């Protein structure tokens, strides 16, 4: 039995790697067909194209590819055994097909841990690098002490939070706690502009409400700054498009930083629905990989009774489609504060895990 378990674990992990490679290669081909002009325009030669793909693939696709590859590997591992009557032979020998599912799920659990490590290292760093590349070569947005810092050219931006016009987080329309530092060619501070509220207007205009402007003399660092209070100060920020991506900066934060961010927002009694939703959605990703392997197992074993891959595979695709559809709806509701983020995110994952377990138990032994 130990040799049999090892055989199916090796088959599962091999198929996982194969499906992950094939799906990644497919996306690479599609990206090159659709965005080759952008790749060549933004970078120089083949090395630039490879860098573009190396950053974009993990940033945009890898989080979803990992659980889908686990589903496909689990399905075809067990479907192949059922199709070639290996499960029938095991039943004749007194071995339940459920016995081969357990080592596959154990391997899926290890892959879940590995996916968490990959997400917290490579995917996070790739997302930061990708965001930095989108800014046209400027410094990346980083998170320090509860706020966001962005440095480009001779200007440093510090933003504590972002809201839309209705006050919900996500799509940026209003910034909170903004400070802009303008530096000279030699790095000396020339001027700082700060305001608790900044409204983003058209044509890259930032309207600072109740702004404080401090002007410094770079030739005399010890002199006191000239301080001016302005009711409404309008500045044209050429890089507004980059700072408006603050809603996307969360993907470049580790889970620890996301938890810190949520804690600071809640301590300040400020809305954190969007950030909490991102935190729980990210935390659930490794678990989803395991749940997908569990969901696929009964569909794979069903091939023995159906005498073909078609119908069980269709059932599996429908199940995945339902999962993503329901999950997206719940995440949207959680982001708006309609459903608590923790309850919404984990109830969907738990419900499909329960569905997979019940379906597996109903498979003939």
**Per residue in 328-354, pLDDT tens?**
999 999 988 899 999 999 999 999 999
Q: Is the pLDDT of residue 266 over 80?
A: no
Task: Please state which of the ranges 24-28, 69-73, 101-105, 361-365 shows the lowest mean pLDDT.
Answer: 361-365
Task: Please state which of the ranges 56-65, 87-96, 317-326 shows the lowest mean pLDDT.
Answer: 87-96
Q: Are the C-beta atoms of 64 and 123 separated by less than 8 Å? A: no
Rg over CA atoms, the chain: 26
Please give the structure tokens belonging to residue 235: 């500045």
Please give the structure tokens belonging to residue 312: 């069980």
Query: What pLDDT was estimated at residue 175?
Result: 78
Q: What is the dihedral of CA 327, 332, 337, 338, to 10 degrees?
A: -70
The residues with which 183 forms a beta bridge, in sequence order, are 189
Q: Are the C-beta atoms of 264 and 146 separated by less than 8 Å? A: yes
Tell me the CA distances in angstroms from 192 to 78, 147, 157, one per residue in order. Answer: 64, 17, 10
Q: Is the pLDDT of residue 77 over 80?
A: yes
Query: What pLDDT was estimated at residue 268?
Result: 61
Please give the structure tokens belonging to residue 103: 């080592």
In this prediction, residues 113-140 reach a mean pLDDT of 79
Query: What pLDDT was estimated at residue 171?
Result: 44
Tell me the CA distances in angstroms from 215 to 168, 229, 280, one per residue in order. Answer: 34, 12, 43
Query: What pLDDT was estimated at residue 244?
Result: 43
Please give the structure tokens belonging to residue 355: 């569905």
State which of 35-49, 119-133, 252-266, 341-355 shows the largest mean pLDDT.
Answer: 341-355
Q: How many CA atoms lie within 13 A of 91 on its CB side?
A: 13
Query: What pLDDT was estimated at residue 359?
Result: 93
Terminal Cα distance for the chain, rounded: 16
Q: How many CB atoms lie within 10 A of CB 17?
A: 13
> What are the strands of the beta sheet with 205-215, ordered from one edge?
142-144, 147-152, 155-163, 174-183, 189-200, 205-215, 226-236
Please give the structure tokens belonging to residue 1: 């039995």
Q: How many CB atoms lie within 10 A of CB 341?
A: 24
In this predicted model, what pLDDT tens digit does every residue of 315-332 receive, in sequence order?
Answer: 999 999 999 999 999 999
Contacts of 80 (CB under 8 A, 6+ apart): 11, 86
Q: Are the C-beta atoms of 312 and 304 separated by less than 8 Å? A: no
Closest by alpha carbon to 169, among 279, 324, 327?
A: 279
| d(C-alpha 326, C-alpha 114), whole Å | 26
The model's confidence at residue 174, banded by pLDDT at 50, 70 and 90, is confident
SS3 content of the chain, % helix, strand, coil (to 5): 65, 15, 20
Please give the structure tokens belonging to residue 292: 């997908």
- Sequential DSSP letters for 285-307: HHHHHHHHHHHHHHHHHTHHHHT
The share of the chain scoring above pLDDT 70, in percent, equals 81
CA–CA–CA angle 254, 125, 258 (5° rounding)? 15
The model's confidence at residue 40, banded by pLDDT at 50, 70 and 90, is low
- φ/ψ of 159, rounded to 5, equals -130, 125
Please give the structure tokens belonging to residue 264: 């600071």
| d(C-alpha 45, C-alpha 61), whole Å | 24
Closest by alpha carbon to 69, among 34, 3, 120, 118?
A: 118
- Sequential DSSP letters for 349-360: HHHHHHHHHHHH
| d(C-alpha 69, C-alpha 180), whole Å | 45
Summary mean pLDDT of the chain: 83
């Amino acid at each position: 039995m130990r040799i049999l378990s090892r055989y199916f674990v090796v088959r599962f992990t091999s198929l996982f790697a194969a499906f992950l490679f094939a799906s990644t290669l497919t996306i690479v081909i599609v990206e090159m067909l659709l965005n080759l002009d952008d790749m060549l325009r933004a970078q120089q030669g083949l090395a630039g194209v490879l860098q573009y793909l190396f950053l974009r693939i993990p940033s945009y696709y890898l989080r979803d590819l990992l659980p889908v590859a686990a589903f496909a590997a689990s399905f075809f591992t067990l479907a192949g055994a059922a199709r070639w009557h290996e499960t029938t032979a095991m039943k004749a020998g007194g071995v339940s097909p459920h016995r081969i599912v357990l080592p596959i799920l154990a391997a899926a659990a290890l892959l879940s841990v590995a996916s968490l490590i990959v997400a917290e290292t490579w995917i996070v760093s790739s997302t930061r690098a990708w965001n930095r590349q989108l800014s046209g070569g400027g410094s990346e947005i980083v998170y320090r002490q509860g706020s966001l810092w962005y440095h480009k050219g001779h200007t440093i931006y510090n933003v504590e939070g972002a809201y839309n016009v209705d006050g919900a987080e996500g799509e940026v329309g209003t910034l909170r706690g903004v400070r802009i530092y303008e530096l000279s060619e030699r790095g000396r501070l020339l001027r700082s502009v700060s305001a608790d509220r900044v409204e983003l207007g058209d044509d890259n205009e930032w309207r600072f409400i109740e702004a404080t402007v401090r002007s410094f003399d770079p030739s005399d660092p010890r002199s006191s700054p000239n301080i001016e209070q302005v009711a409404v100060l309008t500045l044209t920020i050429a890089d507004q498009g980059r700072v408006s991506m603050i809603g996307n900066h969360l993907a470049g934060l580790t889970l620890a930083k996301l938890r810190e961010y949520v804690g600071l927002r809640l301590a300040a009694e400020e809305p954190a629905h969007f950030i909490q939703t991102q935190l729980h959605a990210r935390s659930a990703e490794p678990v989803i990989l395991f749940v997908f392997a569990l969901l696929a197992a009964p569909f794979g074993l069903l091939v023995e009774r159906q005498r073909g891959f078609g119908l069980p595979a269709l059932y599996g695709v429908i199940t995945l489609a339902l999962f993503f559809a329901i999950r997206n709806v719940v995440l949207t509701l959680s982001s708006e504060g309609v459903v608590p983020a923790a309850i919404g995110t984990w109830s969907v994952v738990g419900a499909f895990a329960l569905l997979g377990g019940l379906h597996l138990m109903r498979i003939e032994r």
